[in-house]
Structure 1
Amino acid sequence: MTGTPPNEADGDAADGDPPEATVSLSAAVVGRYEKFSRVNSPYSAHDRGRAVDLYPRDGVGRSPVAGTVRDVRTVGCPDRPYAADEDHLIVVDLADGWCARADASPGTVARILHVVPEVSPGDRVAAGDALGPTTRSGFFGQWVDDHVHLGFRPPDANPRRASGSLPVAVDVPVEPVAWDGTGAVVERGPTHVVLDGPRRSDPGPPFAALASDEGVPLDGGVTHYAGGGTFEADEGASAPEGTTLSLFGTEIGTVRTDGADARAPGVDWGSVDVRANGERVTGLSLFAARGDRFGVKVVCPNRTFEIGESVTLDVVPSDDPIRLGVG
């Protein structure tokens, strides 16, 4: 799993329906990070693109926003042997200038998680400032890299809650890269491997992502999280609501735009399994990432693949697809 707990700091009632205003992150904000995703998470904070995970290159949790630190809190985590037993919430009152550039209302508040805070209430921070080191949170699945979680709350809303967060748009074009699902293992961890594909050979936008068969760049956990999404494509590749998307020749889901940013709509995954060399694995973890080789993890806690081993992925219909929750 990745993301943040839905209501980590208190037990207040939900704040009602989320506002429709969208906070827009520019290339200058996102370009400080190695990769990003809006919906690669089972947690409600990411539901329908209402948060973004930003993956730094160096283990430093740099601020994606400018403003004044309002609050710093430590919260408990699920007990995971591979992770810390506590996480941290940093609340920032956004500067008016930052809000104006992001199309956010004055008084909007940022919520930042998964960083061990080296800042205190009252500190002023600029975009790019170090807030502290990232932490391996117990809210992560074991295959998830350390990252900065960023969400926004409207003025006068409870900043400690995730439910009711504002939609987040990332105004960065993402190149969709086709792939046949074959490659050799170049990285392995306890619960995942990375293959040497997909690759892109021509210069393009800084970020790229795995494309559906229709040429739409994909975001999320395919299909181990119930819903996923798409990125805004570099050449305008888009999928209207109701469009069926396929991967490796099999239908994987349907585009929906209700409650999602129209530039990067969501996807309701269908009932399918991902297989590696003919055996079912948990799924594919997708992001927009930099570089020629990027951004696809094969999540396979019950399989072992060796470095250099050839792997072929496919997708097949399933009567019992894997769906991971937050427990």
Structure 2
Amino acid sequence: MEESGETDPVVVPESLLARYRKFSLYNSPYPAHDRACAVDLYPESNAGVSPVAGEVLDTRTVGCPAREYAVDHDHLIVIDTGDHLVRVLHVDPAVEAGDEVAVGDALGELVRSGFFGRWVDNHVHLEFREHGRNPYRASGSIPLVVDAAVTPLAWDGTGTVLETGPSHAVLDTPTRPENGDGTIDADAAGFTAIAADDGRPLDGGLTHYSGGGVPGIRTSRRDAPPTVSLLGTTVGTRVGRHVDWADVDVLANGERITGLSLFVAGADARAGVKLVTRPEAGDPAFAVGDEVTVSIVPSDDPVRLG
């Protein structure tokens, strides 16, 4: 493994990840994501189901940043799996201490938390912690690796807007390669993510969060160069699986936007890029059907939200 320290990383199995339409280790300003010590799991519905089996030890309501589009409180569910203590966030609990849950059991409804950016979809936040460690502190969880091959998809920076929201636009590119008969190529039928210029998949908020990474223990190459580039521009420096973003701006049709929301798409999910466009920051707005060309340029004053 590429992690340092006395505790071995927790391996998140492919069978769990396949239950969700997408996942991300790095696309968050929350401290647990800094070194892949948490994973966000995005389901198809707003049902918060358990990603682990074990005994519920506690549930707590916690405060979160005040946002006009979100609730003013969040929730923590602590589960003892036998091997670890697990922290689950962003689910309004319908369980209580002493309940036994299996993988896929209902924990409650997902909440639209003030910890999210407006462009972030509802999701289950998952962390693992050693027994004896305080499960209520924001830090102290074990690094994670995902036991899944993540196919990198090349992208030339262009695309057509398929979906918009108050602070985002989703492009129809990149797409999974197809066979001549229109079926998806078998090599890209599983998990996919946007490829850096050297062919590694990328995950994270580029560059509105401080860093990102290379997801998947079977896609992190030890011999890869330390610099990471996208669309012909150096966007960060790699240390193991982790990438510290460089000072760059993301431009859409020549105008600066907040950034790119990068993630790992599941087998049945679209891999298209999500542009983060905050109107309060003066970002341009896009409409469905707009043609967009994205470029990345060095910056003396990059957007940093966390």
Deviations 1:244-269 (A, max 9, x none): 11111111111102xxxxxxx00011
Partner of 1:45, secondary structure, is: helix
Moved more, 223-232 or 117-126: 223-232
**Where do 1:99-138 residues align within 5 Å?**
106=83, 108-138=84-114
Partner of 1:41, secondary structure, is: coil
- The equivalent position to 1:60 in structure 2, one of 29, 34, 47, is 47
For the pair 1:162 / 2:123, whether they are aligned, the reply is no
* Distance (Å, rounded) in 2 between the aligned partners of 1:247 and 1:133: 37
Deviations 1:107-157 (A, max 9, x none): x10000000111110000001111111110011000000000000111111
For the pair 1:182 / 2:166, whether they are aligned, the reply is no
One-letter identity of the residue aligned with 1:323: R
One-letter identity of the residue aligned with 1:44: P
Aligned to 1:307: 288
One-letter identity of the residue aligned with 2:208: H
Contact 1:91 1:111 in 2 (8 A): yes
Contact 2:176 2:271 in 1 (8 A): no
What do you get for the CA RMSD once the two structures are aligned? 1.7
* Distance (Å, rounded) in 2 between the aligned partners of 1:168 and 1:43: 15
Aligned to 2:24: 37
Query: Structure 2: which 5+ residue stretches go unaligned?
Result: 178-184
- The equivalent position to 1:93 in structure 2, one of 80, 86, 101, is 80
For the pair 1:254 / 2:230, whether they are aligned, the reply is no
Contact 2:236 2:246 in 1 (8 A): yes
Aligned to 1:227: 211
Alignment size in residue pairs:
290
* Distance (Å, rounded) in 2 between the aligned partners of 1:123 and 1:188: 40
Shift of the alpha carbon at 1:296? 2.2
TM-score (norm: length of structure 2): 0.91
Structure 1 segments, 4+ long, off by >6 Å, are none
* Distance (Å, rounded) in 1 between the aligned partners of 2:176 and 2:217: 15
| Distance 1:78-1:31 versus aligned 2 partners, 3 A rule | same
Query: Structure 1: which 5+ residue stretches go unaligned?
Result: 1-16, 96-105, 258-264
TM-score (norm: length of structure 1): 0.85
Deviations 1:212-255 (A, max 9, x none): 01000000001111111011276x46254752111111111111
Shift of the alpha carbon at 1:292? 6.5
* Distance (Å, rounded) in 2 between the aligned partners of 1:198 and 1:210: 7
- The equivalent position to 1:193 in structure 2, one of 147, 158, 169, is 169
Aligned to 2:36: 49
Moved more, 178-187 or 292-301: 292-301
Moved more, 199-208 or 29-38: 199-208
Contact 1:53 1:148 in 2 (8 A): yes
* Distance (Å, rounded) in 2 between the aligned partners of 1:177 and 1:187: 20
Identity among equivalent pairs (%): 56
